[in-house]
Amino acid sequence: MSQNVGIDLIHFATADFYLGLDVFAQQKNQDVDKYLVGIGQEKMSIAPPDEDIVTLSAKAAEPILAQVDRDKISAVFFATESGVDQSKSAGAFVHSLLNLPNRCRVIELKHACYAGAAALQMAVNTVKANPKEQVLVIAADIARYDLDTSGEATQGCGAVAMLIKTEPRILAIEAGSGYHTEDVMDFWRPNHRETALVDGKYSTKVYLSSLKFAWQHFTEETGRSFEDIQQFCYHIPFTKMAEKAHKQLVKQVGLKQTDQQTSQQVAASQVYNRVIGNSYSASLFVGFCSLLDHKPHLDDQRIGFFSYGSGCVAEFFSGVIQPGYQSVLMTREHQCSIEARSPLTYQQYLDLYHHSEPNQANITFPEYHAGPFRLSGIQDHKRCYLKTGQ
């Protein structure tokens, strides 16, 4: 008899600062409802110079490792499109900061926002092949766009860590997925650029067509229907995208829903993303944390997940919430992390924005944030990290 494999623990982290989109709208001479209603965003987390995907990831993973035997972690699958080195995996830095055992595989995965789902499925299959393995999956990104572009209001940052093992206490991942891959240029970041380029309207169109094809494949592979799924989590570049995607899926399967029925199936998954902003590969799983923390009584319910990565690759898959899951959630930690952030003025946001990814051989960063891990500087082109113990 095969064992269940899936998410045993999950925790996310974001930066200590945010820019309110009310401040942003005032600066841009725009109606604030363009952002609050139009794209469904209120705030975006902003990372200071001494915070990057490595420190965010260590901050996300440490509360999980504090509850388990970290010497049993056999692999770290690290998903990001905000890589800090063209060769060395960011996961290697995280492995060191977290005091993980040397008998451990570490690899970095990239395909825009899809890589987190790929890392999760890779971990599930690893554990199915060898049930003794316990894999730490991390998805982390800092979303950055050029100033005064349509993407600027959809920035943000975050990292999600997940422990994947047998007999998981939160979510058992089910066999069978629907896939869609297509060579398109809807969002991309050439190696010489620090910010992404996006064709927003085209990307929305490709996201929705990818959902259509991935869903068709999913139903053919699994035999499951829309009615078999109680809650849906979508990749969320901005929260209105999830609503738009769900309404299209409802129409595709020939059903009709009221706005209240749509809200009951997707709204709980949007709460955190609305105040964190886009976190690319982590976005889908920040949404899953939001669902777990805001929708009670999910025991034995099937969750549908749609992951989309520009370029593009998409996957629709499902999992079943395990009985008693609420006893291992870290809801309070998530909410405290968000509530503890400090607001930025627009000028403070600009100061952090222009202090972007350093290309100097040597630099020391001032101490901006109070998190447990810091990027302290760069010496001879080598990134230097500190545990602050806070």
Nearest to 134 by CA among 110, 169, 109: 169
- Is it true that the peptide bond before 104 is cis, omega within 30 degrees of 0? no
> What are the angstrom distances between the C-alpha of 53 and each of 58, 251, 377, 381?
9, 38, 14, 17
Q: Is-catalytic flag, 81?
A: yes
Pick the catalytic residue: 51, 108, 113, 289?
A: 113
Q: Which string of DSSP letters, residue by residue, matches 24-75?
A: HHHHHT--THHHHTTT---EEEE--TT--HHHHHHHHHHHHHTTS-GGGEEE
CA–CA separation, 22 and 162 (whole Å): 33
Q: Which string of DSSP letters, residue by residue, matches 3-28?
A: PPEEEEEEEEE--SEEEEHHHHHHHH
SS3 category, 378: strand
For residue 151, give every residue at least 6 positions away whose Cβ sits within 8 Å of its Cβ, in sequence order, or none. Answer: 145, 196, 198, 200
Pick the catalytic residue: 51, 62, 81, 133?
A: 81
The residues with which 277 forms a beta bridge, in sequence order, are 156
Pick the catalytic residue: 95, 235, 334, 369?
A: 235
Asked if 256 contacts 250 with a C-beta cutoff of 8 angstroms, the reply is: yes
Q: Is-catalytic flag, 235?
A: yes
Cβ neighbours of 342 (radius 10 Å)? 12
Residue with structure tokens 């500087």? 377
Taking the CA of residue 244 as centre, how many other CA atoms within 13 Å lie in the half-sphere pointing to its CB? 16
Please return the burial class of 148, using the count of CB atoms within 10 Å of its CB with bins 0-12, 13-18 and 19+. exposed
Q: What is the 3-state secondary structure (H, E, C) of 323-372?
A: CCHHHHCCHHHHHHHHHCCEECCHHHHHHHHHCCCCCCCCEECCCCCCCC
Active site residues: 81, 113, 235
